[in-house]
Amino acid sequence: MSTISNSTNIFWQECPVGKAERQKLLNQKGCVVWITGLSGSGKSTLACSLSRELHSRGKLSYILDGDNLRHGINKDLGFKPEDRTENIRRVGEIAKLFADAGLICIASLISPYRKDRDACRAMLPDANFIEVFMNMPLELCESRDAKGLYKLARAGKIRGFTGIDDPYEQPLNCEIEIQQNNGVCLLPAALAGQVLTYLEEKGFLQVE
Amino acid sequence: MSTISNSTNIFWQECPVGKAERQKLLNQKGCVVWITGLSGSGKSTLACSLSRELHSRGKLSYILDGDNLRHGINKDLGFKPEDRTENIRRVGEIAKLFADAGLICIASLISPYRKDRDACRAMLPDANFIEVFMNMPLELCESRDAKGLYKLARAGKIRGFTGIDDPYEQPLNCEIEIQQNNGVCLLPAALAGQVLTYLEEKGFLQVE
């Protein structure tokens, strides 16, 4: 086809089975739960726990894990700022497809830049993007260091590491903020419960 | 993180709710139905019809339409050979995620090059990639020309158009081939029935 413009001569295909029909089949509403925070802040743990809790209630969810996707669709991308942006953009576009398919899509990525997260939010209808901020102190994340990455970053063996020599921009208006309680971290199931309650209250777990 | 290699320091996150659990919830098996063929060969029509038939049986499917994705995740890509390859690669990776989520993912793209389709097939476990070849004569597709693209291609206003001045490489070992019957095209529901029968026989429409 044309090489003049990227979007010339491309038509939009509509189909009789749409989001509403799929949501009815699943008895849930498609949405994106976007978990953001530092490495080691507990994003993946929350994602898994939430997925388990939803499954036990008969709800279909799917986790888009930033690290896992870098082995697949995003394997051509590195960690330069423009690559990070493209990485987040693609995950946002895929999350949008999953929400359109009727699933509760759980995206778990550091996603350090506010503008990149906001661009993903803008892809979705209002209220269907639920930003969950793992607001954990850097010291805690660094002390966990399950992947040993903070150590490498401090030793200068990794450059541009979020929280060390690359910024993490906190959300300004996230839907859910996860924090320590008097210096104690809640158990994963309790954290998942916070998100679950939100989803329930907003009507995502059933179709009227 | 590191700029040395794209996949350095990336870990794989496993989760207790996996494909098997999701398939059980949906009572179906995740797979990819990849519909390939010339522009105007009826790919989208088959995709929609199949989606409708599956839905009426309570099965969850999702269509990845090549044109639609070019408005979203693939909007940065054009129609140069390397862009086409990247386009197909991304759709393959996304289709893989949907199959992993337990859905019957219906990908509908011209996908003219054999090596690109085979690369997508290689991403999935054997038998989970079902290639459907819309084997319609160019003359028929051109006579339909619903989008008016063949006319533009013949007039030289679009270059690199599949079937006109860019090759379509027929599948060598596709799972399903759709053809005219004595010069007559079957109705969409009948075509969908062919694919449905295949899915049923191969056990994709239920979990033992």
Q: What CATH number did the domain enclosing A113 receive?
A: 3.40.50.300
Active site residues per annotation of B: 111
Whether residue A62 is contained in a domain is answered as yes
Mutate to test the interface with A, among B4, B8, B13 (most CBs of A within 10 A): B13
Q: What is the distance between the alpha carbons of residues B160 and A50, in angstroms, rounded to a whole number?
A: 47
Which pLDDT score is estimated for A20? 95
Do A9 and B55 lie within an 8 Å CB cutoff? no
Q: How confident is the model at residue B182 (pLDDT cuts 50, 70, 90)?
A: confident
CA atoms of A98 and B98, how far apart (whole Å): 8
At residue A89, the pLDDT reads 97
User: Residue B3: its pLDDT value, please?
Assistant: 36
Average pLDDT score over chain A: 91
Contact assignment for B62 to A22 by CB distance below 8 Å: yes
pLDDT at B121: 97
Is the Cβ pair A79, B161 closer than 8 Å?
no
Contact call for B2 and A71, based on CB within 8 A: no
Contact residues on chain A for B21, CB-CB shorter than 8 A: 55
Percentage of chain B beyond pLDDT 90 is: 78
Cα Rg for chain B, rounded, in angstroms? 18
Q: What is the pLDDT at residue B179?
A: 92
Please check whether residue A180 lies inside any domain of the structure: yes
- Which are the catalytic amino acids of A? 111
Residues of the domain holding A124: 19-136+169-200
> Does residue B81 sit within a domain?
yes
- B110's CB contacts (< 8 A; 6+ apart) are B36, B37, B38, B39, B43, B66, B162, B168
Q: Do A17 and B48 touch (CB under 8 A)?
A: yes
In the predicted model, is pLDDT for residue B167 greater than 50? yes
The nearest alpha carbon in chain B to A90 belongs to: B73
Set of chain B residues whose Cβ sits within 8 Å of the Cβ of A43: none
Closest CB to B3 among A17, A80, A93: A80
Count of pairs with CB atoms under 8 A, one residue in A, one in B: 173
The ranges of chain A with pLDDT < 50 are 1-7
Q: Under an 8 A CB cutoff, do A21 and B55 touch?
A: yes
Mean pLDDT score of chain B: 91
Q: Is residue A151 part of a domain?
A: no
* pLDDT recorded at residue B146: 83
Query: pLDDT value at position B61?
Result: 98
Mean pLDDT of B95-112: 97
Mean pLDDT of B105-112: 96
Question: What would the 3-class secondary structure string for A150-204 be?
Answer: HHHHHCCCCCCCECCCECCCCCCCCCEEECCECCECCCHHHHHHHHHHHHHHCCC
In a domain, residue A106? The reply is yes
CB B109 within 8 A of CB B66: yes
Count the domains in chain B. 1
Q: How far is A19 from chain B (nearest CA, A)?
A: 10
Residues 6+ apart with CB under 8 A from A192: A46, A49, A50, A52, A53
Indicate whether B126 pLDDT > 90: no
Give contacts of B44 with chain A, Cβ < 8 Å: 13
CA gap B149, B151 in Å, rounded: 5
